[in-house]
Amino acid sequence: MRKTVLCVILVLFSATIASSNSHRSLPKVVSKVAIKGRSTAIPQTTLVTPASNALYRVSAYGVVTVPNGNTAFWNLELNWTEEYGAENCYNGTQQGVPCSLLTINSNWENYGEYRWAQQTWVVRANAGTPLSYSMVDVGGATGSKYDLFLTVEQLE
């Protein structure tokens, strides 16, 4: 009898653990970027191409490590396609609405602000269409050095 009760408890305990672990599969990291010491722009680069429509969280951190003396910025741009068509976030606006993911100052040495920035963005991306990023020189930032870190998590 004690062996039977012990077996039942063991089976219930195992089922509980298996059930709780099955719900932990999301969010799931699907892409990471770690770039250090970059001094030029980054062309449009795919982060992930979803197999099915999905919701993603993109977390970004950027820092200028060596200024270049110009009053200029590095802007992170994000591009994706959702049910309503192609979307993007660049130069601080999306159809007139503020949406800048990341802007860092290449001349923080003189102005002391925007040396680093962090942001999190949530997007819905269509199956078979890339979620991509680029880093754009706005006004002469080339020559300064920056680090960029991105993590993309699938939420659903």
CA trace torsion 47, 51, 57, 58 (10° rounding): 10
pLDDT band at 55 (very low <50, low <70, confident <90, very high): very high
Q: Quick one: pLDDT at residue 18?
A: 52
Q: Quick one: pLDDT at residue 91?
A: 53
Domains along the sequence of the chain with CATH: 27-154 (2.60.120.340)
Q: Which two tokens stand for residue 18?
A: 């298996």
Say if strands 28-38 and 145-154 run parallel, antiparallel, or are unpaired. antiparallel
Residue with the two structure tokens 């925007």:
114
Rounded to two decimals, the pTM is 0.76
pLDDT tens per residue across span 118-148: 888 899 999 999 999 999 888 899 889 999 9
Assess whether pLDDT exceeds 70 at residue 100: no
Please say whether the beta carbons of 102 and 58 come within 8 A. Answer: no
